[in-house]
Structure 1
Amino acid sequence: MQYSPPSKTPGRAPWRRFRPGWAPSLLVVLLLPLLIGLGLWQLSRAEDKRALLAGFEARRQAEPVDPATLQAAGAPAWQRVRLHGRFDPQHSLLLDSRTRAGRPGVELLQPFRDDSGRWLLLNRGWLPWPDRRVAPAFATPDGALALTAWVYRSPGNPFLLEQVAGDAWPRLVNRVDAAALWRELGRDGLPVELRLEPGPAAYAVDWPPLAMSPEKHLGYAVQWFALAAALLALFVYLGIHNARETSHVVAHRPD
Protein backbone atom coordinates (compact mmCIF):
# COMPACT_ATOMS: atom_id res chain seq x y z
CA MET A 1 0.00 0.00 0.00
CA GLN A 2 1.35 3.43 -0.98
CA TYR A 3 1.26 6.21 1.65
CA SER A 4 -0.03 9.68 0.61
CA PRO A 5 0.92 12.73 2.73
CA PRO A 6 -1.94 14.96 3.93
CA SER A 7 -2.82 18.02 1.85
CA LYS A 8 -1.34 21.36 2.98
CA THR A 9 -3.83 23.58 1.17
CA PRO A 10 -5.44 25.01 4.36
CA GLY A 11 -2.04 26.19 5.53
CA ARG A 12 -1.04 28.12 2.45
CA ALA A 13 1.20 31.17 2.91
CA PRO A 14 -0.57 34.41 3.97
CA TRP A 15 0.91 36.36 1.04
CA ARG A 16 -1.08 34.14 -1.31
CA ARG A 17 -4.30 35.38 0.28
CA PHE A 18 -3.42 39.06 -0.35
CA ARG A 19 -2.11 40.16 -3.74
CA PRO A 20 -2.88 43.83 -4.43
CA GLY A 21 -0.32 44.22 -7.18
CA TRP A 22 2.64 46.55 -7.40
CA ALA A 23 0.84 49.50 -9.02
CA PRO A 24 -1.91 49.84 -6.34
CA SER A 25 0.69 49.30 -3.64
CA LEU A 26 2.83 52.12 -5.00
CA LEU A 27 -0.21 54.38 -5.23
CA VAL A 28 -1.14 53.72 -1.59
CA VAL A 29 2.43 54.30 -0.42
CA LEU A 30 2.41 57.70 -2.12
CA LEU A 31 -1.13 58.88 -1.36
CA LEU A 32 -1.91 57.53 2.10
CA PRO A 33 0.75 59.55 4.00
CA LEU A 34 -0.25 62.63 2.00
CA LEU A 35 -3.95 62.32 2.88
CA ILE A 36 -3.23 61.67 6.56
CA GLY A 37 -0.77 64.57 6.63
CA LEU A 38 -3.36 66.93 5.16
CA GLY A 39 -5.88 65.83 7.77
CA LEU A 40 -3.41 66.42 10.61
CA TRP A 41 -2.54 69.83 9.13
CA GLN A 42 -6.20 70.83 9.16
CA LEU A 43 -6.47 69.73 12.80
CA SER A 44 -3.47 71.90 13.60
CA ARG A 45 -5.05 74.85 11.78
CA ALA A 46 -8.25 74.37 13.77
CA GLU A 47 -6.27 74.50 17.01
CA ASP A 48 -4.49 77.66 15.87
CA LYS A 49 -7.83 79.29 15.06
CA ARG A 50 -9.17 78.40 18.52
CA ALA A 51 -6.19 80.15 20.07
CA LEU A 52 -6.75 83.21 17.88
CA LEU A 53 -10.43 83.33 18.82
CA ALA A 54 -9.54 83.06 22.49
CA GLY A 55 -7.19 86.03 22.12
CA PHE A 56 -9.84 87.97 20.23
CA GLU A 57 -12.45 87.32 22.90
CA ALA A 58 -10.06 88.33 25.68
CA ARG A 59 -9.27 91.66 24.00
CA ARG A 60 -12.91 92.21 23.08
CA GLN A 61 -13.85 92.01 26.74
CA ALA A 62 -10.96 94.24 27.84
CA GLU A 63 -11.31 97.95 28.38
CA PRO A 64 -10.21 100.07 25.38
CA VAL A 65 -6.91 101.92 25.65
CA ASP A 66 -5.97 105.38 24.43
CA PRO A 67 -4.01 105.89 21.17
CA ALA A 68 -0.73 106.57 23.00
CA THR A 69 -0.93 103.27 24.88
CA LEU A 70 -1.92 101.47 21.68
CA GLN A 71 1.08 102.85 19.82
CA ALA A 72 3.47 102.02 22.68
CA ALA A 73 2.20 98.42 22.72
CA GLY A 74 2.80 98.02 18.98
CA ALA A 75 -0.92 97.98 18.11
CA PRO A 76 -1.55 94.26 18.71
CA ALA A 77 -4.33 92.61 16.73
CA TRP A 78 -7.86 93.05 18.12
CA GLN A 79 -6.79 95.55 20.75
CA ARG A 80 -9.64 97.96 21.45
CA VAL A 81 -8.96 101.70 21.49
CA ARG A 82 -11.05 104.70 22.46
CA LEU A 83 -10.85 107.79 20.28
CA HIS A 84 -12.06 111.36 20.32
CA GLY A 85 -11.57 113.55 17.30
CA ARG A 86 -12.69 114.28 13.75
CA PHE A 87 -12.73 112.55 10.38
CA ASP A 88 -10.91 113.87 7.34
CA PRO A 89 -13.64 113.74 4.63
CA GLN A 90 -11.25 114.70 1.81
CA HIS A 91 -9.17 111.50 1.64
CA SER A 92 -11.52 108.53 1.72
CA LEU A 93 -10.63 105.02 0.53
CA LEU A 94 -13.11 102.51 -0.88
CA LEU A 95 -11.91 98.93 -0.44
CA ASP A 96 -13.24 97.09 -3.48
CA SER A 97 -14.73 93.58 -3.90
CA ARG A 98 -16.30 93.26 -0.44
CA THR A 99 -19.48 91.14 -0.59
CA ARG A 100 -22.21 90.60 2.01
CA ALA A 101 -24.80 87.85 1.53
CA GLY A 102 -23.94 87.77 -2.16
CA ARG A 103 -24.34 91.53 -2.56
CA PRO A 104 -21.41 93.52 -4.03
CA GLY A 105 -20.04 96.44 -2.08
CA VAL A 106 -17.05 98.26 -0.64
CA GLU A 107 -15.64 99.12 2.77
CA LEU A 108 -15.19 102.81 3.61
CA LEU A 109 -11.93 103.86 5.24
CA GLN A 110 -11.20 107.44 6.33
CA PRO A 111 -8.38 109.20 8.19
CA PHE A 112 -9.30 110.21 11.72
CA ARG A 113 -7.35 112.78 13.74
CA ASP A 114 -7.51 112.06 17.44
CA ASP A 115 -7.41 114.94 19.91
CA SER A 116 -4.00 113.63 20.97
CA GLY A 117 -2.70 114.68 17.54
CA ARG A 118 -2.36 111.16 16.15
CA TRP A 119 -3.78 110.13 12.78
CA LEU A 120 -5.52 106.77 12.48
CA LEU A 121 -7.12 105.01 9.52
CA LEU A 122 -10.65 103.92 10.50
CA ASN A 123 -12.70 101.37 8.60
CA ARG A 124 -16.28 102.58 8.97
CA GLY A 125 -17.80 99.39 7.55
CA TRP A 126 -19.44 97.95 4.48
CA LEU A 127 -21.51 99.84 1.91
CA PRO A 128 -23.58 98.30 -0.91
CA TRP A 129 -22.47 99.10 -4.44
CA PRO A 130 -24.99 97.50 -6.81
CA ASP A 131 -24.27 99.77 -9.80
CA ARG A 132 -20.59 100.45 -10.51
CA ARG A 133 -21.53 103.29 -12.85
CA VAL A 134 -22.63 105.27 -9.79
CA ALA A 135 -20.26 106.03 -6.91
CA PRO A 136 -21.23 104.57 -3.50
CA ALA A 137 -23.08 107.09 -1.35
CA PHE A 138 -21.80 107.87 2.14
CA ALA A 139 -21.71 110.78 4.57
CA THR A 140 -18.97 111.96 6.91
CA PRO A 141 -19.88 113.40 10.33
CA ASP A 142 -18.79 117.02 10.70
CA GLY A 143 -18.31 117.37 14.43
CA ALA A 144 -16.05 115.77 17.01
CA LEU A 145 -16.89 112.16 17.84
CA ALA A 146 -16.15 109.73 20.67
CA LEU A 147 -15.57 106.34 19.05
CA THR A 148 -14.36 102.86 19.91
CA ALA A 149 -12.45 100.74 17.42
CA TRP A 150 -10.18 97.69 17.33
CA VAL A 151 -6.97 96.85 15.52
CA TYR A 152 -7.31 94.63 12.46
CA ARG A 153 -4.32 92.76 11.10
CA SER A 154 -4.80 90.48 8.11
CA PRO A 155 -3.79 86.88 8.92
CA GLY A 156 -1.26 85.42 6.50
CA ASN A 157 -0.40 86.83 3.09
CA PRO A 158 -3.36 86.33 0.77
CA PHE A 159 -3.04 86.79 -2.98
CA LEU A 160 -3.66 90.43 -3.88
CA LEU A 161 -3.93 92.28 -7.16
CA GLU A 162 -1.45 95.07 -7.82
CA GLN A 163 -2.39 98.19 -5.95
CA VAL A 164 -3.44 100.94 -8.32
CA ALA A 165 -3.44 104.47 -6.88
CA GLY A 166 -5.28 107.26 -8.64
CA ASP A 167 -5.39 110.98 -8.01
CA ALA A 168 -9.12 111.35 -7.42
CA TRP A 169 -10.78 111.04 -4.06
CA PRO A 170 -12.54 108.96 -2.83
CA ARG A 171 -10.04 106.43 -4.11
CA LEU A 172 -10.91 102.86 -5.07
CA VAL A 173 -8.30 100.38 -3.76
CA ASN A 174 -8.01 96.61 -3.55
CA ARG A 175 -5.96 96.47 -0.35
CA VAL A 176 -5.36 98.60 2.73
CA ASP A 177 -1.91 100.12 3.22
CA ALA A 178 -2.14 102.68 6.02
CA ALA A 179 1.59 103.38 6.06
CA ALA A 180 1.58 104.26 2.34
CA LEU A 181 -1.37 106.58 2.85
CA TRP A 182 0.38 108.49 5.64
CA ARG A 183 3.51 108.84 3.51
CA GLU A 184 1.47 110.19 0.63
CA LEU A 185 -0.36 112.68 2.84
CA GLY A 186 2.76 113.62 4.81
CA ARG A 187 1.19 112.72 8.15
CA ASP A 188 2.42 110.90 11.21
CA GLY A 189 -0.15 108.11 11.50
CA LEU A 190 -0.46 104.67 13.01
CA PRO A 191 0.38 102.15 10.23
CA VAL A 192 -2.54 99.80 10.91
CA GLU A 193 -6.22 99.57 10.07
CA LEU A 194 -8.73 100.16 12.85
CA ARG A 195 -12.26 98.81 12.52
CA LEU A 196 -15.09 100.69 14.14
CA GLU A 197 -17.42 99.13 16.62
CA PRO A 198 -21.16 99.85 16.18
CA GLY A 199 -21.84 103.52 16.76
CA PRO A 200 -22.86 106.83 15.18
CA ALA A 201 -20.19 106.79 12.43
CA ALA A 202 -20.37 103.08 11.57
CA TYR A 203 -22.04 101.41 8.61
CA ALA A 204 -22.21 97.58 8.49
CA VAL A 205 -19.44 96.51 10.88
CA ASP A 206 -20.40 92.92 11.67
CA TRP A 207 -17.09 91.46 10.52
CA PRO A 208 -16.30 87.85 11.42
CA PRO A 209 -13.08 87.72 13.48
CA LEU A 210 -11.71 85.01 11.17
CA ALA A 211 -12.30 84.21 7.52
CA MET A 212 -12.45 80.48 8.30
CA SER A 213 -13.73 79.06 11.59
CA PRO A 214 -12.15 76.11 13.47
CA GLU A 215 -15.24 74.06 12.59
CA LYS A 216 -14.50 74.40 8.88
CA HIS A 217 -10.95 73.16 9.41
CA LEU A 218 -12.33 70.18 11.34
CA GLY A 219 -14.70 69.46 8.47
CA TYR A 220 -11.80 69.48 6.00
CA ALA A 221 -9.80 67.21 8.30
CA VAL A 222 -12.66 64.69 8.39
CA GLN A 223 -12.79 64.74 4.58
CA TRP A 224 -9.06 64.02 4.25
CA PHE A 225 -9.20 61.21 6.81
CA ALA A 226 -12.27 59.74 5.08
CA LEU A 227 -10.41 59.71 1.77
CA ALA A 228 -7.46 57.97 3.45
CA ALA A 229 -9.79 55.34 4.95
CA ALA A 230 -11.53 54.80 1.60
CA LEU A 231 -8.18 54.39 -0.15
CA LEU A 232 -7.01 51.86 2.42
CA ALA A 233 -10.28 49.91 2.27
CA LEU A 234 -10.11 49.78 -1.53
CA PHE A 235 -6.52 48.59 -1.34
CA VAL A 236 -7.43 45.75 1.05
CA TYR A 237 -10.43 44.73 -1.07
CA LEU A 238 -8.35 44.73 -4.24
CA GLY A 239 -5.62 42.66 -2.61
CA ILE A 240 -8.05 39.99 -1.36
CA HIS A 241 -10.01 39.97 -4.63
CA ASN A 242 -6.88 39.54 -6.74
CA ALA A 243 -5.64 36.72 -4.49
CA ARG A 244 -8.94 34.85 -4.82
CA GLU A 245 -8.92 35.28 -8.60
CA THR A 246 -5.39 33.93 -8.75
CA SER A 247 -6.30 30.96 -6.53
CA HIS A 248 -9.33 30.22 -8.71
CA VAL A 249 -7.23 30.21 -11.85
CA VAL A 250 -4.60 27.94 -10.28
CA ALA A 251 -7.24 25.52 -8.93
CA HIS A 252 -8.88 25.11 -12.34
CA ARG A 253 -5.69 25.01 -14.37
CA PRO A 254 -5.30 21.65 -16.14
CA ASP A 255 -2.30 19.57 -15.12
Structure 2
Amino acid sequence: MPIRIKIKNWKLALLAFVFFCLFCSLGTWQLSRANQKKILLKSFHERTLHAPFLAAHLNTAQDLRFYRTQLTGSFDNAHSILLDNKIFHGKVGYEVFTPFKADGIATPILIDRGFVPMGTNRKTLPPLTRIHGHVTLTGLINQPPAYVALGSMMESTTPVWPLRIEYINMDTLSTLLNQPLFPYIVTLAPTDAAAYAIEWQIVTMGPEKHQGYAVQWFALALTLLILFVALNRDRGQT
Protein backbone atom coordinates (compact mmCIF):
# COMPACT_ATOMS: atom_id res chain seq x y z
CA MET A 1 0.00 0.00 0.00
CA PRO A 2 1.47 3.37 -0.98
CA ILE A 3 2.17 5.86 1.79
CA ARG A 4 0.19 9.09 1.55
CA ILE A 5 1.72 12.29 2.97
CA LYS A 6 -0.40 14.99 4.56
CA ILE A 7 1.64 18.12 5.34
CA LYS A 8 0.73 19.33 8.82
CA ASN A 9 3.04 22.35 8.98
CA TRP A 10 4.24 23.88 5.72
CA LYS A 11 6.89 26.01 7.41
CA LEU A 12 8.48 22.99 9.06
CA ALA A 13 8.14 21.06 5.82
CA LEU A 14 9.97 23.79 3.92
CA LEU A 15 12.68 23.90 6.58
CA ALA A 16 13.07 20.12 6.40
CA PHE A 17 13.36 20.32 2.60
CA VAL A 18 16.08 22.97 2.86
CA PHE A 19 18.11 20.88 5.30
CA PHE A 20 17.56 17.73 3.23
CA CYS A 21 18.98 19.50 0.17
CA LEU A 22 21.83 20.92 2.27
CA PHE A 23 22.82 17.51 3.66
CA CYS A 24 22.71 15.94 0.19
CA SER A 25 24.80 18.79 -1.24
CA LEU A 26 27.40 18.40 1.51
CA GLY A 27 27.56 14.66 0.91
CA THR A 28 28.02 15.19 -2.83
CA TRP A 29 30.71 17.81 -2.15
CA GLN A 30 32.61 15.39 0.09
CA LEU A 31 32.50 12.73 -2.63
CA SER A 32 33.86 15.31 -5.06
CA ARG A 33 36.67 16.16 -2.63
CA ALA A 34 37.46 12.45 -2.27
CA ASN A 35 37.77 12.13 -6.05
CA GLN A 36 40.03 15.20 -6.19
CA LYS A 37 42.28 13.69 -3.51
CA LYS A 38 42.48 10.41 -5.46
CA ILE A 39 43.58 12.29 -8.58
CA LEU A 40 46.09 14.29 -6.53
CA LEU A 41 47.60 11.17 -4.96
CA LYS A 42 47.78 9.43 -8.34
CA SER A 43 49.61 12.43 -9.82
CA PHE A 44 51.97 12.52 -6.84
CA HIS A 45 52.93 8.85 -7.09
CA GLU A 46 53.40 8.99 -10.86
CA ARG A 47 55.46 12.17 -10.93
CA THR A 48 57.78 11.27 -8.06
CA LEU A 49 58.93 8.28 -10.13
CA HIS A 50 60.14 10.64 -12.86
CA ALA A 51 63.85 11.46 -13.10
CA PRO A 52 64.69 14.66 -11.14
CA PHE A 53 64.28 17.91 -13.07
CA LEU A 54 67.32 20.13 -13.46
CA ALA A 55 67.36 23.92 -13.69
CA ALA A 56 66.72 23.86 -17.45
CA HIS A 57 63.48 21.93 -16.94
CA LEU A 58 62.27 24.39 -14.33
CA ASN A 59 62.72 27.25 -16.80
CA THR A 60 60.70 25.58 -19.56
CA ALA A 61 58.08 23.29 -17.99
CA GLN A 62 54.71 24.77 -17.04
CA ASP A 63 53.25 22.24 -14.60
CA LEU A 64 55.99 21.33 -12.15
CA ARG A 65 54.08 20.19 -9.08
CA PHE A 66 55.21 16.89 -7.50
CA TYR A 67 58.21 16.41 -9.74
CA ARG A 68 61.52 15.85 -8.02
CA THR A 69 64.36 18.25 -8.70
CA GLN A 70 68.11 18.48 -8.23
CA LEU A 71 69.59 21.96 -8.10
CA THR A 72 73.02 23.44 -7.49
CA GLY A 73 73.54 26.86 -5.96
CA SER A 74 73.76 28.69 -2.65
CA PHE A 75 71.40 29.47 0.21
CA ASP A 76 70.54 33.05 1.13
CA ASN A 77 71.08 32.42 4.84
CA ALA A 78 70.44 36.06 5.74
CA HIS A 79 66.77 35.86 4.74
CA SER A 80 65.34 32.70 6.27
CA ILE A 81 61.61 32.61 7.04
CA LEU A 82 59.79 30.95 9.93
CA LEU A 83 56.20 29.98 9.12
CA ASP A 84 54.40 30.12 12.46
CA ASN A 85 51.88 27.76 14.12
CA LYS A 86 53.05 24.51 12.56
CA ILE A 87 52.61 21.12 14.22
CA PHE A 88 54.85 18.13 13.52
CA HIS A 89 54.25 14.84 15.32
CA GLY A 90 52.52 16.62 18.18
CA LYS A 91 55.13 19.35 18.62
CA VAL A 92 54.45 23.05 17.99
CA GLY A 93 56.96 25.16 16.10
CA TYR A 94 57.89 26.63 12.75
CA GLU A 95 58.38 25.56 9.14
CA VAL A 96 61.72 26.91 7.91
CA PHE A 97 62.00 28.40 4.42
CA THR A 98 65.26 29.74 3.00
CA PRO A 99 65.71 31.36 -0.44
CA PHE A 100 68.05 29.42 -2.72
CA LYS A 101 69.92 30.96 -5.64
CA ALA A 102 70.08 28.08 -8.10
CA ASP A 103 72.49 28.06 -11.02
CA GLY A 104 70.61 28.58 -14.27
CA ILE A 105 67.47 30.10 -12.70
CA ALA A 106 67.08 33.87 -12.63
CA THR A 107 64.91 34.11 -9.51
CA PRO A 108 65.50 32.62 -6.04
CA ILE A 109 63.47 29.58 -5.03
CA LEU A 110 62.02 29.20 -1.55
CA ILE A 111 63.29 25.97 -0.05
CA ASP A 112 61.15 24.27 2.58
CA ARG A 113 63.76 22.88 4.96
CA GLY A 114 61.33 21.36 7.42
CA PHE A 115 60.16 21.76 11.00
CA VAL A 116 61.92 23.20 14.04
CA PRO A 117 60.24 23.17 17.46
CA MET A 118 59.43 26.42 19.23
CA GLY A 119 61.72 27.41 22.09
CA THR A 120 60.72 28.03 25.70
CA ASN A 121 58.91 31.23 24.68
CA ARG A 122 57.88 33.13 21.57
CA LYS A 123 60.29 35.98 22.20
CA THR A 124 63.30 33.81 21.39
CA LEU A 125 63.40 32.30 17.92
CA PRO A 126 65.11 28.93 17.46
CA PRO A 127 68.67 29.04 16.05
CA LEU A 128 68.90 28.08 12.39
CA THR A 129 71.70 26.13 10.78
CA ARG A 130 73.37 28.08 8.00
CA ILE A 131 74.32 26.17 4.86
CA HIS A 132 77.42 27.74 3.37
CA GLY A 133 79.07 27.44 -0.01
CA HIS A 134 77.98 25.97 -3.32
CA VAL A 135 75.78 22.94 -2.66
CA THR A 136 73.57 20.50 -4.52
CA LEU A 137 70.16 19.78 -3.08
CA THR A 138 67.36 17.39 -3.91
CA GLY A 139 63.70 18.02 -3.24
CA LEU A 140 60.09 17.91 -4.34
CA ILE A 141 58.57 20.77 -6.33
CA ASN A 142 55.29 21.97 -4.90
CA GLN A 143 52.99 24.95 -4.76
CA PRO A 144 53.37 27.47 -1.91
CA PRO A 145 51.26 26.59 1.14
CA ALA A 146 47.65 27.71 0.86
CA TYR A 147 46.45 30.22 3.43
CA VAL A 148 43.48 32.23 4.63
CA ALA A 149 44.52 35.83 5.29
CA LEU A 150 42.87 36.97 8.52
CA GLY A 151 45.47 39.63 9.25
CA SER A 152 48.92 40.82 8.33
CA MET A 153 51.51 38.33 7.15
CA MET A 154 54.03 39.76 9.63
CA GLU A 155 53.75 40.81 13.26
CA SER A 156 55.63 44.03 12.55
CA THR A 157 55.80 46.40 9.61
CA THR A 158 59.60 46.35 9.85
CA PRO A 159 61.08 43.00 8.78
CA VAL A 160 63.54 41.36 11.16
CA TRP A 161 65.39 38.31 9.87
CA PRO A 162 64.83 35.46 10.33
CA LEU A 163 61.32 36.61 9.56
CA ARG A 164 58.42 35.09 11.48
CA ILE A 165 55.25 35.09 9.39
CA GLU A 166 51.67 33.83 9.71
CA TYR A 167 51.34 32.69 6.09
CA ILE A 168 53.29 32.77 2.84
CA ASN A 169 52.37 35.45 0.32
CA MET A 170 54.84 35.25 -2.54
CA ASP A 171 54.19 38.78 -3.77
CA THR A 172 54.77 40.29 -0.32
CA LEU A 173 57.93 38.25 0.20
CA SER A 174 59.21 39.31 -3.22
CA THR A 175 58.75 42.94 -2.18
CA LEU A 176 60.63 42.35 1.08
CA LEU A 177 63.48 40.64 -0.76
CA ASN A 178 63.55 43.28 -3.50
CA GLN A 179 63.39 40.61 -6.19
CA PRO A 180 60.78 38.24 -7.61
CA LEU A 181 60.58 34.69 -6.33
CA PHE A 182 60.16 31.50 -8.34
CA PRO A 183 56.40 30.65 -8.33
CA TYR A 184 56.96 27.17 -6.87
CA ILE A 185 58.73 26.05 -3.71
CA VAL A 186 60.97 23.03 -3.22
CA THR A 187 60.49 20.74 -0.24
CA LEU A 188 63.83 19.17 0.68
CA ALA A 189 64.22 15.42 0.72
CA PRO A 190 64.30 14.15 4.33
CA THR A 191 67.84 12.84 3.74
CA ASP A 192 69.21 16.17 2.45
CA ALA A 193 71.96 17.69 4.57
CA ALA A 194 70.12 21.02 4.83
CA ALA A 195 66.81 19.48 5.96
CA TYR A 196 65.29 19.58 9.41
CA ALA A 197 62.47 17.20 10.37
CA ILE A 198 60.44 16.89 7.19
CA GLU A 199 58.08 14.60 5.29
CA TRP A 200 56.75 14.63 1.75
CA GLN A 201 53.09 14.86 2.73
CA ILE A 202 50.78 16.29 0.08
CA VAL A 203 47.36 15.94 1.70
CA THR A 204 46.21 16.38 5.27
CA MET A 205 43.05 14.33 4.75
CA GLY A 206 42.88 11.22 2.60
CA PRO A 207 40.03 10.27 0.21
CA GLU A 208 38.67 7.70 2.67
CA LYS A 209 37.95 10.39 5.27
CA HIS A 210 36.02 12.46 2.74
CA GLN A 211 34.04 9.36 1.82
CA GLY A 212 33.30 8.76 5.49
CA TYR A 213 32.04 12.32 5.89
CA ALA A 214 29.89 11.87 2.77
CA VAL A 215 28.25 8.79 4.30
CA GLN A 216 27.48 10.79 7.44
CA TRP A 217 25.85 13.63 5.50
CA PHE A 218 23.76 11.22 3.39
CA ALA A 219 22.77 9.35 6.57
CA LEU A 220 21.55 12.62 8.08
CA ALA A 221 19.54 13.34 4.94
CA LEU A 222 17.99 9.86 5.04
CA THR A 223 17.18 10.22 8.75
CA LEU A 224 15.51 13.55 8.12
CA LEU A 225 13.47 12.06 5.26
CA ILE A 226 12.31 9.15 7.44
CA LEU A 227 11.31 11.51 10.26
CA PHE A 228 9.44 13.74 7.82
CA VAL A 229 7.47 10.82 6.41
CA ALA A 230 6.75 9.41 9.87
CA LEU A 231 5.47 12.73 11.22
CA ASN A 232 3.42 13.63 8.15
CA ARG A 233 1.99 10.27 7.19
CA ASP A 234 -1.75 10.35 6.66
CA ARG A 235 -3.03 8.24 9.56
CA GLY A 236 -6.51 8.17 8.10
CA GLN A 237 -5.57 6.15 5.00
CA THR A 238 -7.19 2.74 4.67
TM-score over 0.5 (shorter chain): yes
Q: Is the Cα–Cα contact under 8 Å of residues 46 and 217 in structure 1 kept in the other structure?
A: yes
Which residue does 2:148 correspond to in 1? Answer: 158
Structure 1 position 214 matched with structure 2 position 202: no
1:251 corresponds to which residue? none
CA distance in 1, matches of 2:177, 2:147: 26
In structure 2, give the amino acid aligned to 1:114: A
Deviation, structure 1 residue 60 = 1.1
Contact map agreement 1:95 1:175 (CA 8 A) in 2: yes
CA RMSD of aligned residues (A): 2.5
Q: Alignment partner for residue 115 of structure 2, among 120, 126, 138?
A: 126
Distance 2:146 2:194 in 1: 29
**How far 1:108 moved relative to its partner?**
0.8
2:20 partner SS: helix
Q: Secondary structure at the match of 1:218?
A: helix
Q: How far 1:183 sits from its partner (Å)?
A: 4.1
State whether residues 84 and 144 of structure 1, in contact with CA within 8 Å, keep that contact through their aligned partners in structure 2.
Answer: yes
Unaligned runs of 5+ in 2: none
Aligned with residue 195 of structure 2, among 199, 202, 211? 202
Given candidates 12, 15, 19, the residue that maps to 2:6 is 19
Does residue 229 of structure 2 align to residue 236 of structure 1?
yes
Instruction: Tell me, yes or no, if structure 1 residue 52 matches structure 2 residue 45.
Output: no
Q: 1:214 to 1:117 in 2, by over 3 A?
A: closer
Q: Distance in 1 between matches of 2:40 and 2:132?
A: 37
Give distance in 1, aligned partners of 2:168 and 2:98: 11
Q: Give the Å deviation of 1:103.
A: 1.9
Q: Which structure's residues are more often helix, by fraction?
A: 1
Q: Distance in 1 between matches of 2:171 and 2:147?
A: 17
Match of 1:107 in 2: 95
Task: Give 1:168 shift.
Answer: 1.6
Q: What amino acid is aligned across from residue 89 of structure 1 in structure 2?
A: N
For 2:172 and 2:3, the matched residues in 1 are separated by 70
Distance 2:50 2:34 in 1: 24
SS at match of 2:182: strand
Query: SS of the counterpart of 2:48?
Result: helix
Aligned to 1:193: 185
Amino acid at match of 1:144: H
Structure 1 range deviating more: 133-142 or 24-33:
24-33
Match of 2:74 among 76, 83, 86: 86
**Cα gap change, 1:110 to 1:214, in 2 (>3 Å):** same
SS of corresponding position for 1:107:
strand
Change (3 A) 1:233 1:104: same
Question: Is the partner of 2:89 in helix, strand or coil?
Answer: coil
Compute the displacement of 1:213 (Å): 1.7
Contact 2:96 2:116 in 1 (8 A): yes
Aligned residue identity for 2:78:
Q
1:178–1:206 distance in 2 versus 1, CA, 3 Å: same
CA contact (8 A) 1:59 1:79 kept: yes
Q: What is the letter of the counterpart of residue 181 of structure 1?
A: L
CA distance in 1, matches of 2:145, 2:208: 18
Tell me by how many angstroms 1:189 deviates. Answer: 4.1
Question: Equivalents in 1 of 2:202, 2:115: separation in Å?
Answer: 15
Question: Deviations along 1:42-99, whole A, 9 cap, x unmatched?
Answer: 1111111111111111111111111221122135222221111221211111111111
Q: Which runs of 5+ in 1 are unaligned?
A: 1-10, 248-255
Q: Percent identical across equivalent pairs?
A: 35
> Are 1:20 and 1:236, in contact at CA under 8 Å, matched by a contact in 2?
no
**How many angstroms apart in 2 are the aligned matches of 1:226 and 1:14?**
21
